[in-house]
Amino acid sequence: MIDSLPTENSALKIVYLRMNRLKEKISHRVPNGYFKCRDDLRETFSARYP
């Protein structure tokens, strides 16, 4: 396993490509509990930033 990649840069490229794939997969998700507190967030930010 250690010698399966020719250089450290090739290992970094694999990690980079995998992270990009995961980012695309989860970037459209809404955090848990967001809809429960959405109105409170709007009220807080509209009061703070009119």
Q: Give the pLDDT of residue 18.
A: 93
pLDDT digits 0-9 by tens, 19-46: 999 988 888 888 888 888 999 989 999 8
Tracing tokens 């995961």 back to the chain, one arrives at 22
Structure tokens that stand for 28 in this block: 């459209």
Neighbours of 46 (CB within 10 A): 9
- The amino acid present at 36, given as its one-letter code, is K
Cα distances (Å, whole numbers) of residue 30 to 4, 26, 33, 34: 38, 9, 9, 7
